[in-house]
Amino acid sequence: MSATNRNEDGGSYRLAAARELDRVEKDDAFVGFARRGRGGDPAFERSVTDVVAGVTRLRRRLDFLIDSLYRGDPDGLESGVRTVLRIGLYELLNTRTPAHAAINEAVETVRVYVHPRVTGLVNGILRSASRRMDDLPTPDTGDRVRDLGLLYSHPDWIVRRWIERYGEEAAVRLMEHDNRRPRHGVHVRGDGTAVLDALRSEGVAWEESPLVADFIRVDSVQPLVRSGLLRRGDVRIQDEAAAMVVRVLDPQDGERILDLCAAPGGKTLLAAETAPRARVTAADLHAGRLDLVRTSAERAKLENVDLRVMDARTPDEELTGVFDRVLVDAPCSGLGVLSRRADLRWRRSEEDIADLVALQDAIIDGAARCVAPGGLLVYATCTLEPEENERRVEAFLDRNDGFVRESCAPFIPDRLVDAEGDYLSLPFETGMDGAYAARLRRRVDAAES
């Protein structure tokens, strides 16, 4: 057993993960925020985080298996026992932990976490799963959407939408993408030698981005944190799909650029760096989140970024008609980044989309007022849902004849351009996060709205 399996008190990372999972469920806390800033052994913390995120993503599938393999009434299973079973099954099915170790650790965890009397139950269910690895129970409810939702651990409403839009085969590939541990995009600034040395020294796999220069994909960012490269601003963590939005924006030196929903600042910083003699105003509704932009800009030694707390629906009067380029990276359902945000699929409901649409419309209208005649408005999201993407753009163009849609094709690879000329990253095709962006040009002769 590796030293990192246990913390200083002798508790295993499975026990810490069980506590974390139950706390997240009880407090309705966000997965991922829970253990931030705890200190402790980084490898131990990473194991806890991995298990918590993995179990959260696969929860529906794991519960289906537990309910199928348990001989009693599944509703009668104590919640702590179910949590440990979820962890044990997750390790059996989705990690390289040897079966005997996954089972023994689950038995030891439940002995401490719940009671010695339930060790036999946990042992029995996990052994049965391990014996049937090639022949695990499969859902057969008579409802194809529900069966796929149980098998691929997504809510039915998302499965239904994606099958209708992409067909079953692509919908399954999309769900498989969501269920994988995400890889991280890293923007390497300057000489990358130290970055590659840090990755090699800890045996972390990396590959060059096939789509964006100076970007690599890594399995873990820990070596970059530990070596101080992240703190010093030598690297920045950013998915290539987000970087592509800045390509669509195409910032130029000498321009005034406004990023209206800027925090935590990934796109602001890349824009400011791409055009170092542009002036970039980063605005966000939340002052606390804007502080994240400030810290990152300072770290990256970028002096061309101004900050402004502002509601994008009602931009400050003096910004009317001022900017050459305005970026709206709108609040959205986030259904393009479900692998990265482990609990999001369980938090979202279809009703959220209707609420978001109203906010998105109000934000694009506010943004449009800040664009100078002849200037550019880029509307972007990290969702795949048409109501939040192309339909928002079409509704905006119906309300505003002072703007026309332009193709994104000159700025990004052809395979990322959809039939309308907008940028669309479908994770099952690109391997990147899901993302969308459209370019909207304000006519030179457009009247002030």
Ligand X SMILES: C[S@@+](CC[C@H](N)C(=O)[O-])C[C@H]1O[C@@H](n2cnc3c(N)ncnc32)[C@H](O)[C@@H]1O
Q: Does 271 bind ligand X (CB under 6 A)?
A: no
Among 81, 89, 110, 261, binds ligand X (CB under 6 A): 261
Give the amino acid at 291: D
Residue 315 or residue 375: which is nearer to ligand X going by CB?
315
Nearest residue to ligand X, scored by beta-carbon proximity: 261
Only one of the segments 117-125, 140-148, 202-210, 265-273 lies at the binding site for ligand X (rule: CB under 6 A); that segment is 265-273
> E strand or H helix at 379, and its extent?
strand 371-381
Is 344 in a helix, a strand, or coil?
A: helix
Among 111, 289, 299, 369, binds ligand X (CB under 6 A): 289
Among 173, 294, 313, 399, binds ligand X (CB under 6 A): 313
Determine the distance from the C-alpha atom of residue 239 to the mean position of all C-alpha atoms in its chain, rounded to a whole number.
9
Structural contact between residues 248 and 378, judged by C-beta atoms closer than 8 angstroms: yes
Q: Does 266 bind ligand X (CB under 6 A)?
A: yes
Min. distance of Cβ 377 from ligand X in angstroms? Answer: 15
What backbone phi and psi angles, to 5 degrees, belong to 229?
A: -65, -35
DSSP 5-38: GB-TTS-BHHHHHHHHHHHHHHHTPPTTTTTTT-
Q: Does 286 bind ligand X (CB under 6 A)?
A: yes
Site string for ligand X, 318-337 (x = CB under 6 A): -----------x-x------
Q: Compute the C-alpha angle 210/421/212, nearest 5°.
A: 15
Q: Does 285 bind ligand X (CB under 6 A)?
A: yes
In terms of Cα–Cα distance, which of 324, 188, 303 is closest to 252?
324
In terms of Cα–Cα distance, which of 177, 247, 183 is closest to 212?
247
Residue 205 or residue 309: which is nearer to ligand X going by CB?
309
Q: Does 263 bind ligand X (CB under 6 A)?
A: yes
Among 50, 67, 311, 352, binds ligand X (CB under 6 A): 311
Min. distance of Cβ 440 from ligand X in angstroms? Answer: 17
In the range 192-231, which residues lie near ligand X by CB under 6 A? Answer: none
Catalytic residue selected from 261, 332, 370, 382: 382
CA-CA distance, 262 to 266, in Å (whole number)?
A: 8
Place of tokens 């910032």: 251
Among 81, 242, 243, 335, binds ligand X (CB under 6 A): 242
Annotated active-site residue 382? The verdict is: yes
In terms of Cα–Cα distance, which of 334, 329, 445 is closest to 385?
334
Q: Does 312 bind ligand X (CB under 6 A)?
A: yes
Residue 252 or residue 314: which is nearer to ligand X going by CB?
314
Residue 121 or residue 435: which is nearer to ligand X going by CB?
435
The number of CA neighbours under 13 Å toward the Cβ of 47 is 22
Min. distance of Cβ 249 from ligand X in angstroms? Answer: 11
How many other CB atoms are found less than 10 A from the CB of residue 133?
Answer: 10
Q: List 257's β-bridge partners, or say none.
A: 280, 325
What backbone phi and psi angles, to 5 degrees, belong to 226?
A: -65, -35
Site string for ligand X, 335-364 (x = CB under 6 A): ----------------------------x-
Only one of the segments 166-174, 176-184, 256-264, 383-391 lies at the binding site for ligand X (rule: CB under 6 A); that segment is 256-264
Q: Compute the C-alpha angle 187/190/194, nearest 5°.
A: 85
Residue 199 or residue 424: which is nearer to ligand X going by CB?
424
The residues near 300 (Cβ < 8 Å, ≥ 6 apart) are 189, 233, 236, 269, 273
CA-CA distance, 294 to 302, in Å (whole number)?
A: 10
Min. distance of Cβ 209 from ligand X in angstroms? Answer: 17
CA-CA distance, 260 to 86, in Å (whole number)?
A: 41
Structural contact between residues 188 and 197, judged by C-beta atoms closer than 8 angstroms: no
Among 284, 343, 385, 388, binds ligand X (CB under 6 A): 284
The residues near 133 (Cβ < 8 Å, ≥ 6 apart) are 92, 93
Min. distance of Cβ 149 from ligand X in angstroms? Answer: 26
Residue 122 or residue 282: which is nearer to ligand X going by CB?
282
Q: Does 265 bind ligand X (CB under 6 A)?
A: yes
Q: Does 378 bind ligand X (CB under 6 A)?
A: no
**Binding residues for ligand X, total number by CB under 6 A:** 19
Query: Which residues are tagged catalytic?
Result: 382
Chain residues that interact with ligand X, rule: CB under 6 A? 242, 260-267, 284-286, 289, 311-313, 329, 331, 363
